[in-house]
Amino acid sequence: MNLKDFFLSQEEFEIVRCNDCGLLYTNPRPDTSKMQAYYDSKQYFSHQENSTGLIPRIYEFVKSFNLKQKFKLATSGKTIGKILDIGCGTGDFLLKAKQNNWEVSALEPNEHAREIASKRLNVSIIRPEDISGIPDSSFDVITMWHVLEHIENLQEEALHLHRMLKPGGRLVVAVPNYQSYDAKFYKDKWAAWDVPRHLSHFDRSSITKVFSPYNDIRLCDVFYLRWDAYYISYLSEKYLGHKLPLLRGCFHGLVSNLKASKSKNYSSLVYIFEKSTPKSEKP
Protein backbone atom coordinates (compact mmCIF):
# COMPACT_ATOMS: atom_id res chain seq x y z
CA MET A 1 0.00 0.00 0.00
CA ASN A 2 1.29 3.45 -0.92
CA LEU A 3 0.55 6.22 1.59
CA LYS A 4 1.36 9.82 2.36
CA ASP A 5 2.29 11.45 5.65
CA PHE A 6 -0.84 13.63 5.70
CA PHE A 7 -0.17 14.74 9.27
CA LEU A 8 3.06 16.64 8.69
CA SER A 9 5.67 16.07 5.98
CA GLN A 10 3.50 15.06 2.98
CA GLU A 11 6.23 12.54 2.09
CA GLU A 12 5.26 9.19 0.60
CA PHE A 13 5.91 5.74 2.10
CA GLU A 14 4.85 2.14 1.61
CA ILE A 15 3.31 -0.42 3.93
CA VAL A 16 4.80 -3.85 3.25
CA ARG A 17 4.26 -7.27 4.81
CA CYS A 18 6.87 -9.65 6.21
CA ASN A 19 6.34 -13.06 4.59
CA ASP A 20 7.71 -14.84 7.68
CA CYS A 21 5.72 -13.32 10.57
CA GLY A 22 2.95 -11.40 8.80
CA LEU A 23 3.93 -8.09 10.43
CA LEU A 24 3.20 -4.95 8.41
CA TYR A 25 5.87 -2.27 8.49
CA THR A 26 6.66 1.14 7.01
CA ASN A 27 9.17 1.34 4.20
CA PRO A 28 11.49 3.15 3.90
CA ARG A 29 12.19 3.87 7.54
CA PRO A 30 13.64 7.33 8.19
CA ASP A 31 17.13 7.53 9.62
CA THR A 32 17.02 7.54 13.43
CA SER A 33 18.77 10.93 13.58
CA LYS A 34 15.99 12.48 11.46
CA MET A 35 13.03 10.79 13.15
CA GLN A 36 12.35 13.51 15.74
CA ALA A 37 11.48 16.00 12.99
CA TYR A 38 8.37 13.95 12.17
CA TYR A 39 7.02 14.62 15.68
CA ASP A 40 7.67 18.36 15.80
CA SER A 41 4.14 19.70 15.56
CA LYS A 42 1.88 21.54 17.99
CA GLN A 43 -0.89 19.21 16.83
CA TYR A 44 0.92 16.20 18.30
CA PHE A 45 -1.11 16.36 21.49
CA SER A 46 0.65 13.64 23.50
CA HIS A 47 3.73 15.91 23.67
CA GLN A 48 1.82 19.10 24.45
CA GLU A 49 0.25 20.63 27.53
CA ASN A 50 -2.57 23.18 27.69
CA SER A 51 -3.18 23.15 23.92
CA THR A 52 -5.92 25.53 22.80
CA GLY A 53 -8.79 25.08 20.35
CA LEU A 54 -11.91 22.91 20.15
CA ILE A 55 -10.28 19.62 19.15
CA PRO A 56 -7.51 19.74 21.81
CA ARG A 57 -10.19 20.49 24.40
CA ILE A 58 -12.29 17.53 23.27
CA TYR A 59 -9.11 15.43 23.26
CA GLU A 60 -8.36 16.42 26.86
CA PHE A 61 -11.96 15.78 27.95
CA VAL A 62 -12.00 12.27 26.47
CA LYS A 63 -8.52 11.62 27.84
CA SER A 64 -9.81 11.95 31.40
CA PHE A 65 -12.22 9.06 30.78
CA ASN A 66 -9.55 7.03 29.02
CA LEU A 67 -7.12 7.46 31.92
CA LYS A 68 -9.55 5.80 34.32
CA GLN A 69 -10.02 2.87 31.95
CA LYS A 70 -6.27 2.55 31.29
CA PHE A 71 -5.40 2.58 34.98
CA LYS A 72 -8.02 -0.07 35.71
CA LEU A 73 -6.76 -2.31 32.89
CA ALA A 74 -3.15 -1.95 33.99
CA THR A 75 -3.58 -2.51 37.72
CA SER A 76 -6.79 -4.52 38.17
CA GLY A 77 -6.27 -7.33 40.66
CA LYS A 78 -2.89 -6.02 41.80
CA THR A 79 -1.84 -4.29 44.96
CA ILE A 80 0.33 -1.19 44.72
CA GLY A 81 3.83 -1.71 43.35
CA LYS A 82 6.27 -0.37 40.77
CA ILE A 83 5.01 0.71 37.35
CA LEU A 84 6.92 1.84 34.26
CA ASP A 85 5.21 3.75 31.45
CA ILE A 86 7.23 3.65 28.23
CA GLY A 87 6.50 6.65 26.03
CA CYS A 88 4.91 8.52 28.91
CA GLY A 89 4.36 11.77 26.98
CA THR A 90 3.66 14.53 29.48
CA GLY A 91 2.97 12.01 32.26
CA ASP A 92 -0.84 11.89 32.47
CA PHE A 93 -1.14 8.14 33.02
CA LEU A 94 1.64 8.00 35.61
CA LEU A 95 0.17 10.96 37.47
CA LYS A 96 -3.01 8.90 37.84
CA ALA A 97 -0.93 5.94 39.06
CA LYS A 98 1.02 8.11 41.51
CA GLN A 99 -2.21 9.50 42.93
CA ASN A 100 -3.16 5.88 43.63
CA ASN A 101 0.09 5.28 45.55
CA TRP A 102 2.02 3.40 42.86
CA GLU A 103 5.78 3.95 42.62
CA VAL A 104 6.19 5.37 39.13
CA SER A 105 8.99 5.35 36.55
CA ALA A 106 8.85 6.84 33.07
CA LEU A 107 10.65 6.62 29.75
CA GLU A 108 10.15 9.26 27.04
CA PRO A 109 12.23 10.13 23.94
CA ASN A 110 10.83 13.64 23.37
CA GLU A 111 12.82 16.28 25.25
CA HIS A 112 9.96 18.76 25.64
CA ALA A 113 7.55 16.09 26.90
CA ARG A 114 10.26 14.77 29.23
CA GLU A 115 10.65 18.18 30.87
CA ILE A 116 6.91 18.52 31.47
CA ALA A 117 6.55 14.96 32.81
CA SER A 118 9.53 15.36 35.14
CA LYS A 119 8.02 18.46 36.75
CA ARG A 120 4.56 16.91 37.07
CA LEU A 121 5.75 13.60 38.48
CA ASN A 122 8.78 14.87 40.40
CA VAL A 123 10.90 12.01 39.04
CA SER A 124 13.76 11.77 36.59
CA ILE A 125 12.52 10.60 33.18
CA ILE A 126 14.55 7.84 31.55
CA ARG A 127 15.88 8.34 28.02
CA PRO A 128 15.49 5.44 25.54
CA GLU A 129 19.27 5.05 25.23
CA ASP A 130 19.47 4.39 28.98
CA ILE A 131 17.00 1.49 29.06
CA SER A 132 19.84 -1.07 29.27
CA GLY A 133 20.74 0.35 32.68
CA ILE A 134 17.39 -0.57 34.21
CA PRO A 135 17.88 -3.65 36.45
CA ASP A 136 16.18 -6.94 35.65
CA SER A 137 12.84 -7.76 37.30
CA SER A 138 12.25 -4.13 38.30
CA PHE A 139 8.54 -3.63 37.64
CA ASP A 140 5.21 -5.17 38.58
CA VAL A 141 3.53 -3.45 35.61
CA ILE A 142 4.90 -2.05 32.35
CA THR A 143 2.62 -0.07 30.05
CA MET A 144 2.98 1.07 26.44
CA TRP A 145 0.01 3.19 25.34
CA HIS A 146 0.32 3.50 21.56
CA VAL A 147 4.09 3.24 21.70
CA LEU A 148 5.10 -0.17 20.34
CA GLU A 149 4.20 0.91 16.80
CA HIS A 150 6.85 3.66 17.09
CA ILE A 151 9.67 1.31 18.12
CA GLU A 152 12.43 0.75 15.57
CA ASN A 153 13.78 -2.59 16.81
CA LEU A 154 10.96 -4.80 18.09
CA GLN A 155 13.19 -7.74 19.00
CA GLU A 156 15.43 -5.57 21.16
CA GLU A 157 12.41 -3.92 22.78
CA ALA A 158 10.82 -7.29 23.57
CA LEU A 159 14.09 -8.40 25.18
CA HIS A 160 14.13 -5.36 27.50
CA LEU A 161 10.44 -5.69 28.34
CA HIS A 162 10.91 -9.34 29.26
CA ARG A 163 13.93 -8.78 31.48
CA MET A 164 12.53 -5.66 33.24
CA LEU A 165 9.22 -7.32 34.13
CA LYS A 166 9.03 -9.16 37.44
CA PRO A 167 7.81 -12.77 37.47
CA GLY A 168 4.05 -12.48 37.89
CA GLY A 169 4.21 -8.99 36.35
CA ARG A 170 1.89 -7.54 33.73
CA LEU A 171 2.71 -5.98 30.37
CA VAL A 172 0.02 -3.76 28.83
CA VAL A 173 0.37 -2.88 25.13
CA ALA A 174 -2.14 -0.71 23.24
CA VAL A 175 -1.77 -0.42 19.46
CA PRO A 176 -3.96 0.45 16.45
CA ASN A 177 -5.66 -2.51 14.79
CA TYR A 178 -5.49 -2.53 10.99
CA GLN A 179 -8.23 -5.18 10.88
CA SER A 180 -10.79 -2.70 12.22
CA TYR A 181 -13.71 -1.36 10.21
CA ASP A 182 -12.33 2.19 10.16
CA ALA A 183 -8.98 0.93 8.81
CA LYS A 184 -10.69 -0.92 5.98
CA PHE A 185 -13.10 1.94 5.29
CA TYR A 186 -10.49 4.69 5.05
CA LYS A 187 -7.80 2.50 3.43
CA ASP A 188 -4.70 4.61 2.62
CA LYS A 189 -6.31 7.64 4.37
CA TRP A 190 -6.66 5.79 7.70
CA ALA A 191 -4.98 8.13 10.16
CA ALA A 192 -3.65 5.33 12.37
CA TRP A 193 -1.20 4.26 9.65
CA ASP A 194 0.50 7.53 10.69
CA VAL A 195 3.59 6.94 8.56
CA PRO A 196 6.48 7.31 9.18
CA ARG A 197 5.96 7.76 12.95
CA HIS A 198 4.33 4.32 13.08
CA LEU A 199 7.05 1.94 11.98
CA SER A 200 5.12 -1.29 12.60
CA HIS A 201 1.43 -2.14 12.20
CA PHE A 202 -0.29 -4.89 14.17
CA ASP A 203 -3.26 -7.22 14.32
CA ARG A 204 -4.00 -9.91 16.92
CA SER A 205 -1.75 -12.45 15.23
CA SER A 206 1.35 -10.41 14.52
CA ILE A 207 1.63 -8.79 17.95
CA THR A 208 1.81 -12.14 19.74
CA LYS A 209 4.74 -13.11 17.53
CA VAL A 210 6.74 -10.16 18.89
CA PHE A 211 6.86 -11.95 22.26
CA SER A 212 6.86 -15.54 20.99
CA PRO A 213 10.59 -16.08 21.79
CA TYR A 214 9.71 -15.95 25.51
CA ASN A 215 7.84 -18.99 26.77
CA ASP A 216 7.05 -17.34 30.10
CA ILE A 217 5.20 -14.41 28.48
CA ARG A 218 1.61 -15.22 27.56
CA LEU A 219 -1.32 -13.22 26.25
CA CYS A 220 -4.02 -13.26 28.93
CA ASP A 221 -6.68 -10.94 27.59
CA VAL A 222 -7.55 -8.34 24.93
CA PHE A 223 -9.51 -5.17 25.61
CA TYR A 224 -10.20 -2.04 23.58
CA LEU A 225 -10.21 1.75 23.75
CA ARG A 226 -13.62 2.75 22.41
CA TRP A 227 -12.89 6.48 21.98
CA ASP A 228 -9.96 5.90 19.64
CA ALA A 229 -12.26 5.03 16.73
CA TYR A 230 -13.83 8.50 16.85
CA TYR A 231 -10.53 10.37 16.96
CA ILE A 232 -8.93 8.29 14.21
CA SER A 233 -12.03 8.63 12.03
CA TYR A 234 -12.04 12.40 12.58
CA LEU A 235 -8.41 12.68 11.44
CA SER A 236 -9.08 10.38 8.50
CA GLU A 237 -11.96 12.61 7.40
CA LYS A 238 -9.62 15.60 7.53
CA TYR A 239 -7.17 13.77 5.27
CA LEU A 240 -10.04 13.12 2.86
CA GLY A 241 -10.77 16.86 2.82
CA HIS A 242 -14.39 16.75 3.98
CA LYS A 243 -15.89 20.00 5.28
CA LEU A 244 -17.44 18.41 8.38
CA PRO A 245 -14.70 16.03 9.58
CA LEU A 246 -15.81 16.01 13.22
CA LEU A 247 -19.41 15.09 12.39
CA ARG A 248 -18.47 12.49 9.80
CA GLY A 249 -15.72 11.13 12.04
CA CYS A 250 -18.16 10.64 14.91
CA PHE A 251 -20.53 8.77 12.61
CA HIS A 252 -17.91 6.40 11.21
CA GLY A 253 -16.34 5.97 14.65
CA LEU A 254 -19.74 4.84 15.92
CA VAL A 255 -20.16 2.46 12.99
CA SER A 256 -16.70 1.03 13.65
CA ASN A 257 -17.49 0.40 17.32
CA LEU A 258 -20.86 -1.17 16.51
CA LYS A 259 -19.30 -3.56 14.02
CA ALA A 260 -16.50 -4.32 16.47
CA SER A 261 -19.02 -5.32 19.14
CA LYS A 262 -19.46 -8.47 17.05
CA SER A 263 -16.09 -8.89 15.33
CA LYS A 264 -13.98 -7.68 18.33
CA ASN A 265 -11.80 -5.80 15.85
CA TYR A 266 -11.91 -2.40 17.51
CA SER A 267 -9.86 0.50 16.14
CA SER A 268 -7.39 0.16 19.04
CA LEU A 269 -6.76 -3.00 21.01
CA VAL A 270 -5.14 -3.36 24.42
CA TYR A 271 -3.18 -6.58 24.87
CA ILE A 272 -2.59 -7.83 28.40
CA PHE A 273 0.47 -10.07 28.74
CA GLU A 274 1.67 -11.68 31.93
CA LYS A 275 5.03 -13.15 32.89
CA SER A 276 4.68 -16.45 34.65
CA THR A 277 6.26 -17.18 38.01
CA PRO A 278 8.84 -20.01 38.04
CA LYS A 279 7.57 -23.09 39.86
CA SER A 280 10.36 -22.77 42.43
CA GLU A 281 9.03 -19.31 43.38
CA LYS A 282 5.39 -20.31 43.71
CA PRO A 283 4.06 -20.70 47.29
Q: What is the pLDDT of residue 47?
A: 44
Q: Which residue has the higher pLDDT, 100 or 279?
A: 100
Q: Which residue has the higher pLDDT, 48 or 124?
A: 124
pTM given for the model: 0.91
The terminus-to-terminus CA distance of the chain in angstroms comes to 52
pLDDT of 283 over the 70 cut: no
Ramachandran quadrant class, 237 (left: phi over 0; alpha: psi -120 to 50; beta: rest): alpha
Q: What is the pLDDT of residue 21?
A: 82
- Under DSSP, the state recorded for 42 is T
pLDDT of 150 over the 80 cut: yes
Cα 203–chain centre separation: 13
Average pLDDT score over residue span 214-220 = 96
**Can you state the angle between helices 54-75 and 228-240, rounded to 10 degrees?**
140
pLDDT digits (tens, 9 = 90+) for 51-64: 556 666 776 777 77
Q: Which residue has the higher pLDDT, 236 or 66?
A: 236
Average pLDDT score over residue span 109-127 = 94
Q: Are 5 and 195 in contact (CB under 8 A)?
A: yes
Architecture of domain 51-191+214-276: 3-Layer(aba) Sandwich (3.40)
Average pLDDT score over residue span 214-221 = 96
Strand order across the beta sheet in which 139-145 lies: 103-107, 82-86, 139-145, 165-176, 268-275, 217-224
Read off the pLDDT band of 20 (50, 70, 90). confident
pLDDT of 266 over the 90 cut: yes
Q: What is the pLDDT of residue 281?
A: 58
Dihedral angle sign, alpha carbons of residues 43, 46, 50, 53:
positive
